[in-house]
Structure 1
Amino acid sequence: MRRRIHPTALAGGVLAVGAGALYLSGLVLTGGDIPEGTTVRGVDIGGMSRSQAAEKLEKELAAAVSAPLKVTVGDKTDAVEPRTAGLRLDAEATADSAARPGGADPVTVIGDLLSSDGGEVEPVVRVDEDKARAALERLAKKYDRKVHEGSVVFHEGEPQQVRPVTGQKLDVDDAIGVLRTSYLADGRGPADLPVRETAPRIGAAETERALREFAQPAMSGPVTLTTGGKRITISPAVLGAYLKMEPDGGKGLVPKLDGKGLLADPAVARQVSVVTTEATEAKLRLNGDQVEVAADGRPGREVTAKTVTDVVMPLLTKSGTARTGEVATVTTQPKLTRDTVAKLGLKEKMSSFTVNFEPAPYRTKNIGRAAELINGSVVLPDETWSFNRTVGERTKENGFTEGIMILDGQYTKADGGGVSAVATTVFNALFFAGVKPVEYGAHSFYIERYPEGREATVAWGSLDLKFLNDSGNAIYVLAESTDSSVTVTFLGTKKYDSVEARKGPRTNVKQPSTRPGAKEDCVPQEPLEGFDVTVERIFRNDGEVVKQEPFRTRYTPRDEVTCP
């Protein structure tokens, strides 16, 4: 008897046979791991195994992988080399992402067979963040810019508008992500790298207003000041040199005049000097060891920077004859008069020192000029005295001439040569007066006419001689010179009964060498050993030592220099 087969069982068998056929067909037609119709940036990798697809991607996309990536930073365009920036295509990972997610199981294979294609797959990009950051930081150096506020400046009497500039800074952290997504992107164009902008507070509208309402009227003509029956005319070019416009703390510009600088300008100072006089300090001298007044101080008349500023500023927005104003003078009092000598404690000789030198015309002139400028210096308690500030630059215009000085370890010719004799004399005067040196420096090599470890040199703009008046009373400096000597005396009130110097032995002695001198303007030089030396400054009161201070000096060897 034949067994009857249930219809549902028969139908199931037919379906099983059909699915098997589809599976077999799918394996034949779709081939490898990757569905048909799969592309990566136009490269067809459908039906391939993963390794085949990775190999084809590396080959077909080689040009795109190495092509520079165009970028924009603000309004600038540049390019980044992918390799330098740590950008690369991961072909194997891309093939993995394109492969059938279920591998070769029947459901996946039959699904791929029945679907139209695998579609476009995004390439997998790897980034070495350290390299990317370094490349972006190089771009930042090129294109970052600081914000510049709008302003108005004055040049040779003409106002000029300074346009504002928006600040720009490349956001390196966020730009790394932009590089990753833009590299090998479909239809790749320039990658817009993110920047942070800082807008100026003073914009173009404000600079235009300041130019129109103030700057142009300010430079429209000269300003005339009257004082003491005299007229002082100030040209736009001179005014503009000391006039500027500054932010007012908000979004506006306000004018500011440097009245002190304007008064010091030669064109103005020359006119002002006709109606002004400097206060004259009292002249002191010694009678034995006691101070007496040789000539009383006298008041002076001056025009102050504040007065000039207050008068000139309102005139700058006016025109024609309205640009005229009157400036009052004020009386200035000297620090030192017959009545104030005793009050300031100027009663006795604190110290005195003399340096002798070989007579020479340049030494006589330069040492005499420095002594003249120093003589009569009044240093109030807790004030700091400066050699360079008092004497000024050693130029021909200031009364100095060319002489011999030490430069780079050898004698050379320069304006003001010889003034170190005055510096050394001042140093010893302050040393034995017991006041505090603030800045000083010895010569590079030892000079025999000076005391070892108790000498000083000066150089304009680099080395000064300064002391702090910590004596508790004022100090008056007497300085005088002859053709062969200079003497500096400090007057005031002694803080210590005596101040002594105790020199130690020479140590770390080094021998000099020999070298040729310059072909032009050569100055011969005798050899002398270099050494270290320490000098103790000893302070005594009532015969007892109350304090000691070491002064340590290192001298380099003085090489023998022979001239051709």
Structure 2
Amino acid sequence: MVRADGQKGRAAVDRLAETTARAPRDGAIAFEKGAPKTVTPLAGITLVEDRALDTLRAAYLRTDTAPVVLPVERTEPAVGAEETGRALQQFAQPAMSGPIALTVAGKSLSITPAVLGEHLKMRPDAQGRLVPALDSKGLLAEPAVARPIEEVSRPPLDAAPRVGPDGAVVMAQQSRAGRKVTEEALGKAVLPLLTRTGAARSGEIATVAVQPELTSEEARRIGIKEKISSFTVEFPAAPYRSTNIGRAVELINGSVVQPGKEWSFNRTVGERTKENGFVDGIMINDGQYVKSPGGGVSAVATTMYNAVFFAGLKPVEHGAHSFYIERYPEGREATVAWGTLDLRWINDSGNAVYIQAESTDTSLTITLLGTKKYDEIRATKGPRTNITQPEKRTGNGPACEVQTPLEGFDVTVGRVFVQGGKEVRNEEFKTHYTPRDEVVCTPETPAGPTTPAPPAPTAPATPAATEAPASARTAQAAPAPAGPLGAAGTPRTS
């Protein structure tokens, strides 16, 4: 009598099923170096385990040497050989048969099969038919395509309002529509040509008009008709300041703030990183000089704050430097820190406000254009109070930076709104400045007895002290504060 161990037999069949299983493989077409390559479809195979065990038992008693054929289930691929052959003959081979010629706004360009193949695929649709899929975005970025298209494309030009000799706004630059080629337009031009031959493999790419954000007519309609305010800040020349201030000015210039909308320095300028066009500059973080991208942009924040101040617009958030910087107006200056302190204001003038910003290596000016809500904005300033004397510290080594002393104090500035020759409103803002300690750097003492060297001359205060931490806060006394005035502590500022 022959007995079978069912458990071991099942385990053996399981192992056999595992090693012989094959998933179905669809037929496919790829493009390599300008030529189509087919992938042969294969049926899937799965061992029928219950029947396989019976087949093995029955075959055990056989006396012939013929191989035992186990029962399997076959799964046909969704894309078979017939469909793969059809797609190869009807599309893939014609698509790679030669270059296609295109024109865009009178400019000619040619796209080779090798370039086309890099951005062309064939994918099955819901019915299992292989259909072409063109990566128009990638093709548009190819140098052979991008260069001639760039030559005929042009960006739109916004209207550029400027103040004329009589104080009224004139258009220094009229608006102009631009022209560009979209990904969709390129795809519509290319795909129909791929199955054609000879001279029929040519076509034209359509261009679309791109409207400017601010047209000359729109500028007049939304009330950009006169200068509301203008403010200039001067600063010592330094390469990092010129770069960082110039980049911030570039990002701010031409901004339009609609009525009731909020303007934010951090949202407009973005994070002060190298990727955003800023370079390392000198800043102060918790009393320590540090290098960080964006040093110097607090001059832009101060200029904007004063332009907003004299335009009579509503401040929402701002913070002063921790200690007073002599070239800025007392109590009327601002600094910014990415993620912790912003300069924000709301356009409550009733009309749109256009921001004109420009800079040189030693100065920057921000002018706000729109429609005046008040005849005049006057500034007042009280005396320094709660004066605190600075301390003196001594340091040495290459990390030491000389710092001139300056007293700490409180100061109150006022904003008076004048309409029809009368004061119709007033506000007060209080600012607290901490003292700026004197720092004296002494030369390092060399090892062993030496002849005493003459004391090193005291260097002038480094201009980097203008980038200080924003621990000082400006508070509005009357009426109530317009909004948050910055985070507490001493964050890194620029």
TM-score, reference length from structure 2: 0.51
Distance of 1:545 and 1:260 partners within structure 2: 55
2:483 to 549, 557, 560: 549
1:502 to 426, 429, 432: 429
Shift of the 225–550 alpha-carbon distance from structure 1 to 2, 3 Å rule, reads same
Matched residue SS, 1:298: coil
Distance of 2:242 and 2:479 partners within structure 1: 40
**2:170 matches 1:292:** yes
Contact 2:280 2:291 in 1 (8 A): yes
Instruction: Report the equivalent of 2:223.
Output: 345
Worse-matched range after superposition: 278-287 or 488-497: 488-497
Matched residue SS, 2:218: coil
Pairs aligned (count) = 369
1:364 to 216, 237, 242: 242
Instruction: Report the equivalent of 1:223.
Output: 100
Shift of the 294–325 alpha-carbon distance from structure 1 to 2, 3 Å rule, reads same
Distance of 2:192 and 2:112 partners within structure 1: 16
Please show how residues 133-532 of structure 1 align to structure 2 within 5 Å: 212=88, 218=95, 221-235=98-112, 239=116, 254-257=131-134, 259=136, 262-263=139-140, 267-287=144-164, 290-372=168-250, 374-378=252-256, 402-404=279-281, 418-419=296-297, 421-422=299-300, 425=303, 434=313, 448=325, 454-457=334-337, 473-493=351-371, 502-503=429-430, 505=432, 532=471
Shift of the 342–545 alpha-carbon distance from structure 1 to 2, 3 Å rule, reads farther
Matched residue SS, 2:212: coil
Contact 1:364 1:483 in 2 (8 A): yes
Matched residue SS, 1:376: coil
Q: Which gives a bigger RCO, structure 1 or 2 (Cα 8 Å, sep 6+)?
A: 2
Worse-matched range after superposition: 447-456 or 217-226: 447-456
Distance of 1:252 and 1:445 partners within structure 2: 70
Shift of the 254–478 alpha-carbon distance from structure 1 to 2, 3 Å rule, reads farther
Instruction: Report the equivalent of 1:36.
Output: none
Distance of 2:324 and 2:97 partners within structure 1: 60
Q: How far is 1:229 from its partner?
A: 2.6
Paired residue type of 1:226: T
Gaps in structure 1 of 5+ consecutive residues: 1-40, 42-70, 78-147, 165-198, 512-522, 539-543, 560-564
Instruction: Report the equivalent of 1:11.
Output: none
Matched residue SS, 2:148: helix
Matched residue SS, 2:217: coil
Distance of 2:94 and 2:260 partners within structure 1: 47
Shift of the 153–293 alpha-carbon distance from structure 1 to 2, 3 Å rule, reads farther
Contact 1:394 1:416 in 2 (8 A): yes
Distance of 1:470 and 1:239 partners within structure 2: 54
Distance of 1:380 and 1:318 partners within structure 2: 52
TM-score, reference length from structure 1: 0.46
Q: How far is 1:480 from its partner?
A: 0.6
Shift of the 204–406 alpha-carbon distance from structure 1 to 2, 3 Å rule, reads farther
Q: Deviations over 1:368-407 (max 9, x none)?
A: 3543454334466799989899879989999x68542669
Higher helix share: 1
Shift of the 393–266 alpha-carbon distance from structure 1 to 2, 3 Å rule, reads farther
Q: How far is 1:557 from its partner?
A: 7.0
Contact 2:323 2:433 in 1 (8 A): no
Matched residue SS, 2:158: coil
Distance of 2:267 and 2:33 partners within structure 1: 30
Gaps in structure 2 of 5+ consecutive residues: 6-13, 42-74, 378-414, 416-426, 438-461
